[in-house]
């Protein structure tokens, strides 16, 4: 029942009301398109929030690390897509988890990876479920949908006894859009890449049940998702300044902020020093390439209302320097020592990754509830024991 | 006894041999200058490494958060300088720790903060030890040494029953140097700012016993430290590419790297995809302003030898894109799927902050020892109990 005035700064604050509105918006968008959501755990990394995002959905989730997969499995969430191209060195860890009963789907985009996976799975006498990663825009990883290596990789997997169950596309290119038409176009491009690749694999005899697309911008602006079986998204839960800059949300939809306190003034320069540096805000400068550069974050009052044109202009490890957007000096009298502020993040994933958890501000009574994030990486020596899918990390 | 081939990627690796050489270099530099070291915990955040850095030193340490202070106190390290301007909202937490027996020195640079501290300390009937932060170069926080607020703040503290025991300067400007002469000049500027402010306070009747300066570059290049009583530094333990770019160390002195694995190739572009993105490398681009831009890090082989002119050019959350320095394409055959690499960090503090701990590669037998980092922030609800200085966090 701690109130926001008493929380230790710097810390992460999430407004329950805004979080829920963001979840509702995505659910209703995908419901209208008739496609279920496989929420991505990489942004929130908290099980309570993930469960909220699963309401009304089939129950499968997306993760970006095995540590996230372990946290989900411990919570009884068993249908897990590990949506980063598998490193051969991680195959022992993957197989341990599959043997322990976790339904863990892996992803790859290269015949050599397919060979490594097929060989390892055969040696372990396990039939792994594999999705092929497809590239729609050259922004991250994946095979172009028409590339010969697609069928080659699938054949290697099938011959090795693995199940090629589908395709996965992430339209990273949506982050480069500057208007809604572009977002709609990129969403369609993502859908076409996924369904084209799925059709090629199907024609080759593979039993394709998963056609997975997603990014927050394309999920929210797709006009139709024919042929798609699931959508992945993570940032949408919180939204952030990059998304607002793309037109994907409004600034007032951003559910996540960093609570900070004024600790000094840089004399004669109209600059205010706060106790949130890059360890609290992250070094992410995702708005630097957008028309409105938000520095290291937009400054709001304690209630979350933006202070006109005031941003965190630079950061040290534990210090943030606050100024007007164009370097305009601030009046020290408006920014007294001890004043508390909230900073909206450029990139929710990066800012949240700086913190051990969230203070969820409950809508009913404004109390704060602590919601921890799972470990950032798989720690050495943490091995899942057979039959122990729910207790894999200390 | 895990070997580096079996560590889970991405992870942090520290070479014991290089760590020790970096510690020895700083110890011998400061020994020659006749000034003790108060090592900064903010970079390593691991108690074993901190203890190594304390060998032959008086035993006091520097921290940048109360969570770090708690970790030190739990380990029996009691003489702690909390070297970030105190936020009034943190005074209850500070006083709890002082009452619990921790010798915690705080820092401030504003008469209003002095008023808040004096009032709180008087209410709590505690005499807090306070250092005044001095600004040598306008790069972070602090009062110019000749500023009238210096004596004003000190007077407010003394009247309130607090002890003004010294001054603290951090020469952030050293990070903007481009040659050794500049580093030497900035070190002298830092010394002069500190001793000038100390002399003014002493003349005013304050009993000044601490004249604290520091940053890794100025500590290693100071030519003389007359009047200085202690030096603070943290990055020196690991060193990094920013330091190498400044000429503070050589690339081969960098003790910290991120272990990663090749997971794909971007076809037709000569780009290699690794499983270390910004969650493992950080978003820090500290070398972007230096003559040699290292992207998101310099690529080395598994033994730590740099691969000529190959860097991590861009990052997604869990993906790193590796290319030649000028975008020169790489030959896929040289970068097979599953190849393990080590990435040297731009900024050791930022990269280390992405991870829960280190794998220390022992010089004696090349085995890897797990060394955890302390929590990033003070968690809500963690309160020190009186008389319980060593057990303040879960």
Considering the domain boundaries, does residue A387 fall inside one? no
Nearest CA in chain A to B264: A110
Structural domain ending residue among the three candidates B197, B212, B238 = B238
Residue A105 buriedness (CB in 10 A; 0-12 / 13-18 / 19+): buried
* A338/B87 touch (CB, cutoff 8 Å), yes or no: yes
CA distance to partner chain B, nearest, from residue A262 (Å): 7
Q: Which residue has the higher pLDDT, B229 or A175?
A: B229
- Whether the CB of A282 is below 8 Å from some CB of chain B: the reply is yes
Give contacts of B45 with chain A, Cβ < 8 Å: none
Strand-pair partners of A345: none
CB contact, 8 Å: A338 with chain B? Answer: yes
Cα–Cα dist A26/A41, whole Å: 15
Contact residues on chain B for A86, CB-CB shorter than 8 A = 263
Residues A81 and A208 occupy one common structural domain? yes
The single residue listed with the structure tokens 């909206």 is A344
SS3 A298: strand
Cβ contact A87–B9 (<8 Å): yes
Give the range among A108-112, A326-330, B17-21, B321-325 with minimum mean pLDDT: A326-330
β-pairing, B256-266 vs B11-15, is: antiparallel
In terms of CA atoms, which chain A residue is nearest residue B321? A140
Question: What pLDDT, on a 0 to 100 scale, did the predictor assign at position B139?
Answer: 82
Tokens at A207, concatenated: 């039993």
Which chain B residues touch A144 with a CB distance below 8 Å? 267
Domain boundary among A213, A237, A261: A237
Residues of A in contact with B280 (CB under 8 A): 377
- pLDDT confidence band for B11 (50 / 70 / 90): very high
The CA-CA-CA angle for residues B284, B286, B287, to 5°, reads: 125
**Predicted pLDDT of residue B387:** 33
B101-149 confidence digits (pLDDT tens) = 999 999 999 999 999 999 999 999 999 999 999 999 888 899 999 999 9
Query: Is residue B335 pLDDT above 90, yes or no?
Result: yes
Query: Which regions of chain A does DSSP assign to beta strands (E)?
Result: 11-15, 61-63, 79-82, 103-108, 129-134, 163-169, 210-213, 230-231, 256-266, 271-274, 298-300, 306-315, 320-324, 340-344, 357-361, 368-372
- Burial group, residue A288, by CB count within 10 angstroms (0-12, 13-18, 19+): exposed
Q: Closest chain A residue to B314 measured between Cα atoms?
A: A140
Asked whether residue A383 is domain-assigned, the answer is no
| pLDDT at residue B178, rounded to an integer | 87
Q: How far apart are CA B238 and CA B163, in angstroms?
A: 35
Overall average pLDDT of the B252-266 stretch: 97
Residue listed under structure tokens 């985009």:
A109
* B256, burial (CB in 10 Å: exposed 0-12, middle 13-18, buried 19+): buried
Instruction: Check residue B140 and give its pLDDT.
Output: 84
- Of B238, B267, B295, the residue at which a domain comes to its end is B238
Q: List the domain range (segments joined by +) for residue A327.
A: 251-372
Please name the residue of chain A whose CA is at the shortest distance from the CA of residue B348. Answer: A317
Both B151 and B22 in a single domain? yes
Residues A304 and A223 in one domain: no
Residues of B in contact with A141 (CB under 8 A): 263-264, 266, 273, 319
CB-CB: which of A261, A353, A357 is closest to B89?
A261
Three-class secondary structure of residue B260 per DSSP: strand
For residue A324, the cross-strand partners are A310
Task: Please say whether the beta carbons of A365 and A295 come within 8 A.
Answer: no
Q: Are residues A217 and A262 in the same domain?
A: no
Local confidence band at B390 (pLDDT 50, 70, 90 cut-offs):
very low
Classify residue A245: in a domain, yes or no.
Answer: no
CATH of the domain at A340: 2.40.37.20
The pLDDT value given to residue A6: 87
Given a contact cutoff of 8 angstroms between Cβ atoms, the answer to whether B296 and B320 are in contact is yes
Percent of chain B with pLDDT over 70: 95
Stretch 70-99 of chain B: residues touching chain A, C-beta under 8 Å: 84-90, 93
Contact between A312 and A274 (Cβ < 8 Å): yes
Do the Cβ atoms of B322 and B271 come closer than 8 Å? yes
**Total tally of structural domains belonging to chain B:** 2
Task: State residue A378's pLDDT score.
Answer: 63
Which chain B residues contact residue A267 at CB under 8 A?
143-144, 147, 149
Domain of A159, CATH number, reads 3.20.20.10
Q: Closest chain B residue to A175 measured between Cα atoms?
A: B316
The answer, for A173 touching chain B at a CB cutoff of 8 Å, is no
A369: left (phi over 0), alpha (psi -120 to 50) or beta: beta
* Whole-complex ipTM: 0.94
CB–CB of A64 and B317 under 8 A? yes
Q: Is residue B245 part of a domain?
A: no
Q: What is the pLDDT of residue B176?
A: 86
Size of the A and B interface in Cβ pairs below 8 Å:
201
Cβ neighbours of A337 in B, within 8 Å: 88, 110, 112-113, 116
The answer to whether residues B73 and B213 belong to one domain is: yes
User: Which chain A residues are Cβ-neighbours of B262 within 8 angstroms?
Assistant: 87
Specify whether B156 is located in the same domain as B61.
yes
* Chain B residues touching residue A380 (CB < 8 angstroms): 2, 7-8, 11, 359, 368, 370
Q: Is A266 helix (H, G, I), strand (E, B) or coil?
A: strand
For residues B197 and B145, is the Cβ–Cβ distance under 8 A? yes
Interface check B272 vs A, CB under 8 A: no
Q: Does the beta carbon of A191 lie under 8 angstroms from any beta carbon of chain B?
A: no
In a domain, A91, yes or no: yes
Q: Are residues A186 and A279 in the same domain?
A: no
Asked, for residue A389, whether it belongs to a domain, the answer is no
Same domain, A211 and A283: no
Give the distance from residue A141's alpha carbon to the nearest chain B alpha carbon, in angstroms.
7
* B376 and chain A in contact, CB less than 8 A: yes
B192 touches chain A (CB under 8 A): no
Same domain? B260 vs B321: yes
| Cβ pair A273:B353 closer than 8 A | no
Q: How far is B293 from chain A (nearest CA, A)?
A: 17
List the one residue out of A166, A230, A176, A164 whose CA is nearest residue A197.
A166
Residue B382 has pLDDT above 70, yes or no: no
Contact list, A109 vs chain B (CB under 8 Å): 264
CA B83 → CA B77, B106, B167, B244, B253, distances in Å?
16, 7, 11, 25, 27
pLDDT for position B378: 63
* Residue A1 included in any domain: no
Q: Model-level pTM greater than 0.90? A: yes
- Whether B53 and B29 map to the same domain: the answer is yes
Say yes or no for a CB contact (<8 Å) between B319 and A84.
Answer: yes
Contacts of A356 in chain B (CB under 8 A): 375-377, 379
B214 shares a domain with B280: no
pLDDT the model gives residue A386: 32
Evaluate whether residue B33 is within a structural domain. Answer: yes
> Is A264 close to B110, i.e. CB distance below 8 A?
yes
Mean pLDDT (chain B, rounded): 93
| A56/chain B closest Cα distance in angstroms | 28
CA distance B52 to chain A (A): 23
Q: Which residue has the tokens 């290119």?
A: A173
A283, A313, A322: best to mutate for the B interface, most B CBs within 10 A: A283
The one-character DSSP state at A163 is: E
Helix (H) or strand (E) holding A349: helix A348-352
Cis peptide before A10 (omega within 30 of 0): yes
Cβ atoms of B129 and B165 within 8 Å: the answer is yes
Residue A265 at interface with chain B, using a CB cutoff of 8 Å: yes
pLDDT by position in tens, chain A (length 394): 577 888 999 999 999 999 999 999 999 999 999 999 999 999 999 999 999 999 999 999 999 999 999 999 999 999 999 999 999 999 999 999 999 999 999 999 999 999 999 999 999 999 999 999 999 988 889 999 999 999 999 999 999 999 999 999 999 888 889 899 999 999 999 999 999 999 999 999 999 999 999 999 999 999 999 999 999 999 999 999 999 999 999 999 999 999 999 999 998 899 999 999 999 999 999 999 999 999 999 999 999 999 999 999 999 999 999 999 988 999 999 999 999 999 999 999 999 999 999 999 999 999 999 999 997 766 544 433 333 333 222 2
Query: Is residue A215 domain-shared with residue A112, that is, in the same domain?
Result: yes
């Amino acid at each position: 029942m701690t109130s926001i005035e008493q929380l230790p700064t710097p810390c992460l604050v999430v407004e329950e009301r805004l979080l829920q509105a963001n979840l509702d918006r995505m659910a209703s968008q995908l419901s209208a398109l008739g496609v279920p959501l496989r929420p991505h755990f990489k942004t929130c990394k908290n099980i309570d929030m993930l469960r909220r995002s699963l309401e009304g959905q089939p129950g499968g989730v997306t993760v970006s690390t095995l540590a996230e997969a372990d946290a989900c499995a411990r919570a009884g969430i068993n249908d897990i897509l590990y949506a980063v191209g598998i490193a051969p060195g991680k195959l022992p860890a993957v197989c341990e988890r599959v043997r322990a009963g976790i339904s863990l789907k892996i992803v790859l985009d290269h015949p050599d990876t397919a060979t490594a996976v097929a060989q390892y799975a055969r040696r372990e006498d396990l039939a792994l479920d594999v999705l092929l990663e497809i590239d729609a825009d050259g922004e991250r990883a994946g095979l172009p949908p028409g590339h010969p290596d697609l069928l080659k990789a699938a054949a290697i997997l099938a011959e090795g006894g693995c199940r090629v169950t589908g395709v996965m596309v992430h339209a990273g290119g949506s982050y480069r859009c500057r208007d809604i038409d572009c977002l709609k176009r990129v969403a369609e491009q993502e859908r076409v890449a996924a369904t084209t690749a799925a059709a090629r694999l199907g024609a080759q005899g593979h039993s394709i049940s998963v056609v997975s697309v997603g990014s927050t911008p394309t999920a929210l602006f797709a006009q139709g998702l024919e042929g798609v079986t699931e959508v992945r998204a993570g940032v949408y839960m919180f939204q952030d300044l990059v998304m607002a800059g793309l037109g994907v949300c409004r600034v007032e939809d951003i559910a996540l902020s960093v609570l900070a306190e004024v600790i000094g003034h840089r004399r004669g320069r109209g600059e205010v020093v706060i106790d949130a540096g890059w360890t609290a805000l992250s070094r992410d400068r995702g708005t630097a390439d957008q028309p409105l550069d938000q520095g290291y974050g937009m400054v709001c009052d304690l209630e979350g209302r933006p202070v006109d044109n005031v941003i965190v202009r630079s950061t040290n490890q534990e210090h943030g320097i606050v100024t007007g957007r164009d370097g305009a000096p601030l009046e020290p009298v408006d920014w007294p020592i001890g004043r508390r502020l909230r900073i909206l993040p450029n990139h929710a994933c990066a800012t949240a990754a700086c913190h051990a958890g969230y203070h969820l501000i409950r809508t009913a009574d404004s109390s704060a509830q602590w919601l921890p994030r799972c470990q950032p990486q798989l720690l050495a020596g943490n091995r899942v024991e057979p039959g122990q899918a729910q207790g894999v990390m200390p």
